[in-house]
């Protein structure tokens, strides 16, 4: 079951040129409630789609935001003309 949401693209303050979107709290809570064994750093493997670009990556818990975050790689940002502070429409599916 894919999760679909829109979130703001932001640059990680700890490292230049690393961009993420924060999952909505409802989506993050639904994933946390699933009987999944997390990977390293509490991550979960996902297949993400933004525009016409689909790729496999992981989501990571971000304690400061209180939700999971999804990294948005440069190819995805370029092909979809995404800019920091702009909206990103995401379809996200867990990979087991």
| pLDDT at residue 38, rounded to an integer | 78
The parent domain of residue 69 ranges over 3-94
pLDDT at 78: 95
Residue 67, burial from CB neighbour count under 10 angstroms (0-12, 13-18, 19+): buried
Looking at the 3D structure of the chain, how many domains does it have? 1
CATH, residue 41: 2.40.30.100
* Segment-wise mean pLDDT, segments of 10 residues, the chain, 96 residues: 94 83 96 86 93 96 95 96 96 93
């Amino acid at each position: 079951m894919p999760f679909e949401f829109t979130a703001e693209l932001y640059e990680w303050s700890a490292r230049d040129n690393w961009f993420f979107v924060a999952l909505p709290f409802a989506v993050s809570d639904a994933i946390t409630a699933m009987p999944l064994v997390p990977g390293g750093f509490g991550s979960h493997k996902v297949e993400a789609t933004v525009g016409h670009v689909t790729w496999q990556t992981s989501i990571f818990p971000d304690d400061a935001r209180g939700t999971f975050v999804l990294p948005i790689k440069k190819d995805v940002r370029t092909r979809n003309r995404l800019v920091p502070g702009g909206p990103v429409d995401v379809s996200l599916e867990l990979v087991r």
